[in-house]
Amino acid sequence: MEPMLLTTENGKNKRLDAFLAENAEGVSRAAAAKLIESGNVLVDGRPAAKSCKLTGAETVEVTLPEPEPIDAVPQDIPLDVVYEDEDVIVVNKPSGIVVHPAPGHPDGTLVNALLYHCGESLSGVGGALRPGIVHRIDRDTSGLIIAAKNDAAHRSLAAQLKDHTLARVYECIVVGGFRDDSGTVDAPIARDPKDRKRMAVVSGGRVAVTHWEVLARYPGHTHVRCRLETGRTHQIRVHMAYIGRPILGDAVYGAKKPVPWLTGQCLHAVGLRFAHPRTGEAVELSCPLPEEFEETLRRLRLRTE
């Protein structure tokens, strides 16, 4: 694969790994660190540490490894396909399904289902266990997720994620009320220093911005629409909890008491908009709320009658 050449005018005083995550198409911070450690990144022709501070006058050469072979096993798991063509597939993921294989979840994932449905027509950029996966949603979050069928589509969609032109809209039910009808949470997110299994608002964390809008108010709860400007792990869940409005059913960031009719948190990826990676035309998709979300709204409406 041809090396990627980057100039660092906009990277003065930044760490090398952070610069790559912001400027190398389809490369996350973790992936950048691995590329640097494996010798696939040269600064002015020489290897450098991931913590190397840039001056803004360097040339960075990045050699991406060839995509790994796909090792996940195809499984005949039903998919709710919302959109599909030769480049992309968008599915409505139910709550309770893990997106890709990981320790403790070797199969039965969305990736296993996609491999069965698409055959070998999935991009390899994401690696052996994440073929086609451009972005993720949590196991206990439902809704729209897009996968790429080839590497060109994957890189195009990853670039849209990075520059915030791939729009994702969620609806959720939170505990508590809002005085205002809309607002923005702009608070950096990183691993919780007290619990590495959780994320938290942490000074010095990665920039995270969530825009919210009240759809309906009920006694003790609010139906909210959230639009992601960034896409950090657990972002909406962390931000809503941070402002004192945790998502109903969220056992990690909200109340520990389970909600009997919910399989996870009451959070659904209801809308998705992106530029088609081949044609450039706008694609805008939506899906209905799941039955358990609607059941929650029915119960809340009864309280107001």
Task: Give the C-alpha distances (Å, rounded to integers) separating 33 from 24, 62, 202.
Answer: 12, 12, 21
Residue 22's closest CA among 3, 38, 9, 40?
9
Do 168-270+290-304 and 4-62 fall under one CATH topology?
no
**pLDDT-above-90 percentage for the chain:** 54
CATH topology of domain 168-270+290-304: Pseudouridine synthase (3.30.2350)
Active-site entry in 17, 138, 140, 250: 138
- In sequence order, the β-bridge partners of residue 62 are 4, 41
Report pTM: 0.77
* pLDDT, mean over the chain: 89
- In sequence order, the β-bridge partners of residue 170 are 226, 269
Which pLDDT value is given to residue 73?
83
Structure-block tokens of residue 224:
């909210």
Q: Virtual CA dihedral for 156, 157, 163, 164, nearest 10 degrees?
A: 160
Which tens digit of pLDDT belongs to each residue from 108-158? 889 889 988 988 778 776 665 567 888 889 889 999 999 999 989 999 998
Catalytic residue at 87?
no
Q: So where are the chain's domains?
A: 4-62, 168-270+290-304
Which pLDDT value is given to residue 68?
55
Class of domain 4-62: alpha beta
The helix (H) or strand (E) run that includes residue 272 is: strand 267-275
CA distance 193 to 190: 8
Q: pLDDT band for 192, please (50, 70, 90 cuts).
A: confident
Measured from the Cβ of residue 77, the count of other Cβ atoms closer than 10 Å reads 17
Structure-block tokens of residue 189:
């997110």
Which pLDDT value is given to residue 279?
95
Which carries the bigger pLDDT value, residue 283 or residue 40? Answer: 283
CA distance 36 to 47: 8
